[in-house]
């Protein structure tokens, strides 16, 4: 398939790391929005009807179904899933070929005793 001007432009922009990160994040938000809208439609509910079930506003449901919205909370996603007879799954995937994990602090070693500090 022949590349369009937009394809060439996007390719060029993706060389900018900050743009590439924003572009990837927008894809994640788009996935969430599409899934919520599809589940709601499969359930035969309007945004207003789903909002009533969740005791929230139609505007909030509209935000959740917007590809530009990134304020999804896990608790709200759980409420939506429960109302639509679904479940929430969050998956973290390694980026590229990175396999090393980064943690804030080392895990505690079990079976070792802590030594009391001597007061001098």
- Model confidence pLDDT, tens digit, residues 53-83: 999 999 999 999 998 888 889 999 999 999 9
CA distance 81 to 39: 9
Q: Report whether 74 contacts 88 (CB < 8 A).
A: yes
CA distance 77 to 112: 41
Q: Which residues contact 43 (CB under 8 A, 6 or more apart)?
A: 50, 84, 85
Q: Report whether 84 contacts 39 (CB < 8 A).
A: yes
pLDDT at 118: 59
β strands within 1-120, DSSP E: none
pLDDT of 51 above 90: yes
Q: Report whether 77 contacts 88 (CB < 8 A).
A: yes
pLDDT at 65: 94
- Model confidence pLDDT, tens digit, residues 23-36: 676 677 788 999 99
Structural domains for the chain:
5-83 (1.10.260.40)
- Model confidence pLDDT, tens digit, residues 100-112: 665 666 666 666 5
What's the pTM?
0.63
CA distance 47 to 55: 12
């Amino acid at each position: 398939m022949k590349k369009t001007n937009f394809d060439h432009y996007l390719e060029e922009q993706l060389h900018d790391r900050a743009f590439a990160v924003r572009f990837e994040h927008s894809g994640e938000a788009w996935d969430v929005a599409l899934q919520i809208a599809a589940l709601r439609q499969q359930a035969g509910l309007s945004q207003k009807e789903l909002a009533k079930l969740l005791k929230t506003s139609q505007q909030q449901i509209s935000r959740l179904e917007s590809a530009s919205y990134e304020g999804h909370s896990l608790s709200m996603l759980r409420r939506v899933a429960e109302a639509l007879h679904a479940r929430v799954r969050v998956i973290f995937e390694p980026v590229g070929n990175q396999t090393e994990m980064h943690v804030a602090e080392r895990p505690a070693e079990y079976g070792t005793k802590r030594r009391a500090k001597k007061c001098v």
